[in-house]
């Protein structure tokens, strides 16, 4: 009888431990209620896959597809698209598609239907774990929230599929006062009397930053991404801009006062105006944030 009681208590203890483990695991898979999803997603991929790119973002439905997620196993490289989505119940769903493989570092990426030796399940589980880690770390969350809304590539990917009403809501509530770093070729410097919030800016610098998708050895996103041109009107009181030429490349840090997107397949080009091309574009009005 004593042995049976000991056995019963042991079994009960194991069930209690197992139940706690299951409960903790379920709780860890739930995203914090009421918290924005994008800072945790942005921070996760920035840290884990810094060379990947956001391919498609359904911002208000909390769905993010990233292309150029890479890894290797048994000497074989793998590149693919990963999608993470926050469900209404707080769960995080993950999936992958469009797998590419290559035999060595200098080899060309080639699409494959048969998959690779790479462990996609473990990779996606690690991403979910990191998303929850960022979400539950106030310092990381706040830092990545600001970084995300100051990353013109990320912001453009969000805006690309928004309707006009959603676009206006996004500008008003998320990027209205964002500070962007733009590096591009100068096309013109002119005098200005632009007044913003009581301050008058003497100069207007027009410049264009162009981001190219990459070459055929970069990753799978070569076939998935378009080049993006960012046309920038930068208002400043810096006297040193007077001596810039049309061959100059300039890095500016500016606070957003207006933003417009071009149509698909349209390039906003500061030297030739709007023209048809393989790129998509965005136009920013910035005031000097230095």
- Here the CATH number for the domain that contains residue 189 is 2.40.50
Are 263 and 185 part of one and the same domain? Answer: yes
In a domain, 91, yes or no: yes
Report the chain's C-alpha Rg in angstroms: 24
Output the CA angle 266-268-274, nearest 5 degrees: 75
Out of 53-62, 87-96, 183-192, 262-271, pick the least confident. 262-271
pLDDT at 62 over 90: yes
Q: CA-CA distances (angstroms) from residue 78 to 47, 75, 102, 121?
A: 18, 10, 7, 13
Confidence of residue 27 (pLDDT cuts 50, 70, 90): very low
Are residues 169 and 211 both part of a single domain?
yes
Residue 2 lies in a domain: no
Contacting residues for 79 by C-beta, under 8 A, at least 6 apart:
68, 69, 70, 99, 100, 101, 102, 109, 219, 220
Instruction: Collect all residues with Cβ–Cβ distance below 8 Å to 50 and sequence separation of at least 6.
Output: none
Regarding whether 141 and 191 lie in a shared domain, the answer is: no
Question: Whole-angstrom Cα distance, residue 234 to residue 231?
Answer: 10
Look at residues 116, 148, 180 and tell me which one is the last residue of a structural domain: 148
- 117 and 167: one domain? no
Rounded Cα distance, 143 and 153, in Å: 17
Shared-domain flag, residues 114 and 184: no
Residue 260's pLDDT is 86
pLDDT of 172 higher than 90 = yes
- Hey, CA dihedral for 132, 133, 134, 138, is it positive or negative? positive
pLDDT at 7: 45
DSSP 8-state assignment for residue 52: -
Q: Over 188-256, what HEC string results?
A: EEEEEEEEECCEEEEEEEEEEEEECCCCCCCCHHHCCCCCEEEEEEEEECCHHHHHCCCCCEEEEEEEE
Q: Are residues 173 and 194 in the same domain?
A: yes
Residue numbers of the domain that contains 132: 38-148
Prediction pTM value = 0.80
Give the CATH number of the domain where residue 125 resides: 3.30.530
230 and 251 in contact (C-beta within 8 Å)? no
Does 245 have pLDDT greater than 50? Answer: yes
5 occurs within a structural domain: no
Average the pLDDT over 17-27 and give the result.
31
87 and 175 both lie in a single domain: no
- How many alpha carbons lie under 13 Å from residue 142 in its C-beta half-sphere? 3
**pLDDT at res. 117:** 79
Same domain flag for 273 and 165:
yes
**Domain total in the chain:** 2
User: Distance between CA 98 and CA 261 in Å, rounded?
Assistant: 28
279 near 210, Cβ under 8 Å?
yes
Q: In this predicted structure, what is the pLDDT of residue 225?
A: 59
The answer on 128 and 144 residing in a single domain is: yes
- Residue 274 domain flag: yes
Q: What's the pLDDT score for residue 268? A: 33
Q: Final residue of a domain: which of 129, 148, 167?
A: 148
220 falls within a domain? yes
In a domain, 205, yes or no: yes
pLDDT for 96: 93
Report phi then psi at 115, rounded to 5: 80, -175
């Amino acid at each position: 009888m004593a042995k049976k009681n000991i056995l019963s208590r042991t079994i009960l203890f194991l069930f209690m431990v197992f139940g706690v483990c299951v409960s903790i695991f379920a709780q860890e898979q739930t995203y914090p209620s009421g918290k924005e999803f994008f800072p945790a997603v942005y921070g996760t991929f920035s840290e884990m896959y810094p060379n990947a790119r956001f391919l498609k973002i359904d911002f208000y439905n909390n769905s993010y597809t990233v292309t150029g997620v890479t890894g290797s196993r048994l000497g074989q490289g793998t590149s693919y698209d990963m999608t993470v989505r926050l469900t209404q119940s707080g769960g995080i769903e993950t999936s992958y598609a469009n797998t590419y493989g290559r035999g060595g570092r200098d080899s060309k990426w080639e699409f494959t239907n048969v998959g690779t030796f790479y462990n996609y399940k473990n990779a996606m589980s690690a991403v979910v774990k990191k998303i929850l880690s960022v979400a539950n770390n106030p310092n990381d969350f706040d830092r990545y929230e600001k970084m995300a809304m100051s990353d013109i590539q990320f912001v453009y990917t969000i805006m690309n599929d928004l309707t006009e009403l959603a676009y206006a809501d996004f500008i008003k509530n998320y990027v209205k006062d964002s500070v962007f770093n733009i590096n591009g070729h100068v096309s013109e410097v002119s005098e200005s009397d632009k007044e913003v919030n009581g301050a008058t800016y003497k100069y207007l610098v027009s410049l264009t930053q162009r981001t190219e998708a990459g070459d055929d050895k970069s990753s799978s996103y070569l076939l998935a991404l378009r080049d993006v041109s960012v046309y920038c009107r930068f208002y400043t009181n810096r006297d040193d801009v007077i001596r810039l030429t049309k061959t100059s490349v300039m890095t500016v840090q500016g606070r957003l006062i207006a933003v417009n997107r071009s149509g698909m397949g349209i390039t906003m080009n500061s030297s030739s105006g709007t023209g048809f091309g393989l790129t998509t574009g965005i136009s920013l009005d910035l005031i000097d944030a230095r």
